[in-house]
Amino acid sequence: MRAITFSLILAVALLLSGCGNTTGSRSLSGGAMGAATGAAIGSLSGNFGKGAAIGAGVGAVGGFLHDQHRKGNIN
């Protein structure tokens, strides 16, 4: 059951990874992708909520940094 859940969450994360044209939408899609990945990893260790929260934060920051890099603000 965990393998199926992990596979579905990973598929959704991959679909969300290409979303966004603005800083806000890229940060949001990064946060959603991070939350899904964090929840999947957290569920394997028994900390679903904590994994989702950490993943969402890291994903949002990653989405913002990716946006800034694409705009040329960060090398």
What does the domain layout of the chain look like in residue ranges? 2-70
Q: What is the dihedral of CA 38, 12, 1, 46, to 10 degrees?
A: 10
Q: Is the pTM of this model over 0.85?
A: no
Which one, of 33, 42, 36, lies nearest residue 60 by Cα?
Answer: 33
∠ CA 64-65-70 to the nearest 5 degrees? 100
- pLDDT of residue 71 exceeding 80, the answer is yes
* pLDDT tens-digit series, residues 10-69: 666 666 555 677 888 888 888 888 888 888 888 878 888 888 888 888 888 888 888 888
The backbone torsions φ and ψ at residue 39, rounded to the nearest 5 degrees and listed phi first, read -65, -40
pLDDT band at 1 (very low <50, low <70, confident <90, very high): low
CA distance 33 to 56: 7
